Structure 1
Amino acid sequence: MKRHPLIWLSGAQPAILEQTPGDRAKYQGIGGAVLTTATLAGVSMFFALQMALRAPWYAALPISLVWFLAILNLDRWLVVSIQRGNRAWLVALPRLLMALLFGFIISTPLVLRIFQPEIETEINKIRQEQTERFQGDLSGGEVGRKIDALEKQETALLQTIAGGGTVVNPEEDPQIVALRERLGPLEKTRDENADAATCELTGDKCRDGSRKSGAGPRYENFRAKQREAERQIREIDRQIKDRRDDITATSKTSREQTLREANESLPGVQTQLENLRQIQSDEQQSFEQANEGNTGLLVRLDALNRASAGDFTLGLWRVLLFLLFTVIECLPIFVKVLQLYGPPNTYEQLAEEHAKRSVTTGKIRAETHEQALELEQTSQLSQSRSLVEARQEAAQKLGAMTAESELRVAAAILAAWEEREIARIPKHLDEYVTSTHDPIPEPGSPEPAPEPAVTPPFFGPGAPGVMPYYAPAFDEDARRADLEGRQPR
């Protein structure tokens, strides 16, 4: 049967489906649904890469293709793994939840792409709000406060220089301005500690707490902080008064000195002011670059939420499109699950019978294979036993043949020795007589200790005139060579 891609995607067996042509369209539809979901997943990944990472199309395309193949195989596995059974819903439930999860993830970039004009408009508003918030934080921060103080000091110095060294308003003197800036935090600290001490002593002016009255360690602590702040305030007030008096006194007598001091202080103030303004400008520029580059999925989701919050139509269509894409992504699983609650079609019945036959055939093949292995093992064991018995029998025969050969050789050696010794007797009679008869001891003499009789052996070392005979050792290699009909090594 010719294979069809949609049939393969549906997980159906072509050989069985060939016998049920009426069910072919159903499984082609399931395969088409799997292909559709994978295609939407690839398109969604393409949009997500372009929106979140600003990836060019030639970089986003291969990644989207890999994602398309991954979702294609995943959906095919989910469809194939859902089968009929007593508890099919337990098997289908986790797969359905997985399909829903992937459906939510895949449908989000598609919805964002459809509402891109509305999202871009809202993103511009978000950027403007963030810029204003950053500028406020930048002006109210430490750098902004220093810039404000230096600008006031620069204005005072310029007025002094413009007036020829005369300070028109003592309150605009840089030292007095700096001293008054220190008064604000100290006055706040004094008032807060005074209220806290009153709360501890009388129970009045309490922001929270039990409001119990009475002097204690906490009261004394607050009073000490209050007195310290008051002391510093008095000291600053004295310095302001002294500076004001100095300005008033010197404005009439030392205009040249005042002008010289202003000219000397102005460049340093302007340099500090320029450096701080540059730092502020760099921070502003960095923020603007980061703010312009913030085009990811999170800011787009935030923009879509804000755009749809006040627009019922936009919110409704957003929900409907999101559900539409999610249902499309889960469509193959939905179709497969719905099939479980209907009567089995012809293909399913044949597939079940085929599965049963496959199980039976597999069991028979397994049993046949085991029996064949047992027979092979039994044959090998019998062959090994026969080989051992044959070797034992051959070893016995070889031993008997070796013994017979040794006996014949020994008999031949004995005959040759006997003939040679008989020939030597006439010439060596005394030697043979002395060696075989002991001398008779004289009467009255002590009998010598008997010496062991030394009889020349017939075989082996020491036999007169006889070559030593050594029985050949039993050579296993020679025995194997005889049995195999080859020359020994």
Structure 2
Amino acid sequence: MSIRMALATIAGARVEVLQKAPGDVAKHAAMGGVLISTSLVAMVSAFFALNSTLGLHWAVAAAAGAAWGVLIFNFDRMLMFSMGRGSGLIKGGVSALSRVLLAAVIGSIVSMPLVLKIFEPEIRDELVTMQFEAKKENQRKSDEAFAKITELEQEQTRLLDVVSGRSTSAVSDNADVVAAKAKLETAEKAYQDANAQAQCEFDGTCGTKVPGNGESYQQKKRIADEAKSTRDKAQRSLDDTTAKVTEQLESGAVNDTEQAHKRLPEIQADLDLRRAEQRAQEEKGKEATEGNTGLLARLEALDRITEGRPSGAAAHLAVFLLFFCIEVLPVIAKVLSAFGPETLYDRLLRRMDDDADTDDKVWASRDRDLAELKAEQRADMERAQLDAQTAAHAKTAQLVADKQLKMAMKAVEVWGELAQLRTDEELNRWYREHVGPNAPIPTALRPEPSVPQQSAPQPNDPESTLRIPKVVLPHQNGVPMNGNPSSTHP
């Protein structure tokens, strides 16, 4: 077989038909070459996807790619073989559309790894940027999730200061002392302002501009004295509050140290646990981010590269459509040929199929007739066998009935003889008892000549008396023939 004929066979053409239509060999051979090309493209695509994305060894990726290529090859052949002529325009169009859609799905799957491989340098750089952004986002989420760590660290520092005696808790930090200081500062400022106004009025540099101890000066002097009194009162309040707080702090210092010793281990244990959880979470996020180089991540990187870049998007679309068209080309070519004019190959193929269908119908009809004839012969044989069996059963039944009748007649005859003999014996016995043992026996009571004298049973001799057998008499017309010798009396 030539290479062209082998390629045509791969495309689904029948050799015996092509031999009668040599002009169609080239078309079918080209179709077979396209099928092989699409399977090779699918094989290379699967190899790149498995080797680059999953990181498989090249030998394993090559074996898996070869298996994928064979699968796509068989699937494309199935789509082509399932398309034919004579289905009508609407039905054929729907059938062709469904197969084109299936081919489009396969083309999209096959072309995507090839597109990723072509844009691999740009995708790799974009993946680095995406990983950096993901790390920053993970760190932000970790800080939000473990914000309690900062509070625990501050509490730990405070407790350590209390335990070591470096506690920042002083009299000046007390709220009452701070409030008293604020009042004193306010009163001091009010006094300084009032005193400055009074002195300015006394000097004549402000106010009435008249120096000396005048009425205006006296008025401002009273205001300054009141402010001074308020300041002195605030100072005394601050001193009292400070003394009180100092006494409280001195009395509670021992208790604070004891409480700090008790609480510090709990705070440290909780802090260590949360820090360990944070480190584990950060490590997991780091591993997930660094390992996020799979197919979806590469597709996202490709989308980010082409986003906002018309030239990049056009290049991406062009490369995708190139491999997409390569994958759907066999099915498209088959669809176009199905809706085109019939070739010599198509006509020969249709006639051969019609002839084969006619032959099959003829042979099927012949087989059906033979089967019916055989069935009738078997039925006749079974009926003849059944009739023979019925006749044999009837003859056997008649023979059995005749034999039973003879046996019954013989039994009746024997019974009659025995009954007669018993009757004679009874009469003889009665005669001897009533007439006398030596009286002559009447002729009527003498035994018949047909019965030997020596075989006659002797009266009153139980051993010589014959037992009358119990014989089941035959039925005559459904009525039993009854007889009982013992019931016969003279």
Shorter-normalised TM range? 0.5 to 0.7
Quote the offset at 1:350 in angstroms. Answer: 0.8
Matching residue of 1:18 = 19
Quote the offset at 1:99 in angstroms. Answer: 0.8
Matching residue of 2:123 = 119
- Give distance in 2, aligned partners of 1:276 and 1:417: 125
Matching residue of 1:99 = 103
Matching residue of 1:219 = none
Quote the offset at 1:396 in angstroms. Answer: 3.6
CA root-mean-square deviation: 4.6
Q: Deviations over 1:39-70 (max 9, x none)?
A: 33333334334455444455545544443333
Report the TM-score, using the length of structure 1 for normalisation: 0.62
Matching residue of 1:372 = 370
Report the TM-score, using the length of structure 2 for normalisation: 0.62
The aligned amino acid for 2:306 is: S
Matching residue of 2:150 = 148
- Give distance in 2, aligned partners of 1:169 and 1:286: 48
Matching residue of 2:437 = none
Quote the offset at 1:83 in angstroms. Answer: 0.8
Are the equivalent residues in 1 in contact too, given 2:11–2:29 (CA < 8 A)?
yes
Matched, 1:48 2:49: yes
Matching residue of 1:199 = none
Quote the offset at 1:417 in angstroms. Answer: 7.8
Aligned pairs for 1:377-388 within 5 A: 377-388=375-386
Matching residue of 2:142 = 138
Out of 281-290 and 263-272, give the one that drifted further. Answer: 263-272
For the residue of structure 2 that corresponds to 1:12, the secondary structure is coil
Structure with bigger gyration radius: 2
Of 259, 283, 286, which aligns to 2:284? 286
Quote the offset at 1:93 in angstroms. Answer: 0.9
- Give distance in 2, aligned partners of 1:154 and 1:466: 130
For the residue of structure 1 that corresponds to 2:284, the secondary structure is helix
Are the equivalent residues in 2 in contact too, given 1:157–1:262 (CA < 8 A)?
no
Seq. identity, %: 29
Aligned pairs for 1:280-319 within 5 A: 280-319=278-317
Are the equivalent residues in 2 in contact too, given 1:161–1:259 (CA < 8 A)?
no
Q: Deviations over 1:290-334 (max 9, x none)?
A: 111112221111100111224444322211111111111111101
Quote the offset at 1:391 in angstroms. Answer: 2.0
Matching residue of 2:94 = 90
Equivalent pairs counted in the alignment come to: 372
- Give distance in 2, aligned partners of 1:53 and 1:432: 130
Matching residue of 2:71 = 70
1:251–1:426: structure 2 CA closer, same or farther, 3 Å change rule? closer
Aligned pairs for 1:203-282 within 5 A: 250=246, 257=253, 261=257, 264=260, 273-282=271-280
Matching residue of 1:37 = 38
Quote the offset at 1:368 in angstroms. Answer: 1.8
- Give distance in 1, aligned partners of 2:66 and 2:430: 118
Are the equivalent residues in 2 in contact too, given 1:166–1:259 (CA < 8 A)?
no
Are the equivalent residues in 1 in contact too, given 2:83–2:96 (CA < 8 A)?
yes
Quote the offset at 1:80 in angstroms. Answer: 0.7
Out of 393-402 and 311-320, give the one that drifted further. Answer: 393-402
Of 351, 354, 360, which aligns to 2:352? 354
Quote the offset at 1:377 in angstroms. Answer: 1.5
Quote the offset at 1:465 in angstroms. Answer: 5.3
1:172–1:378: structure 2 CA closer, same or farther, 3 Å change rule? farther
1:12–1:375: structure 2 CA closer, same or farther, 3 Å change rule? same
Quote the offset at 1:260 in angstroms. Answer: 8.4
Unaligned runs of 5+ in 2: 179-237, 432-465, 475-490
Q: Deviations over 1:344-385 (max 9, x none)?
A: 111111111112112212222222222122112211111111
Unaligned runs of 5+ in 1: 177-241, 435-462, 472-489
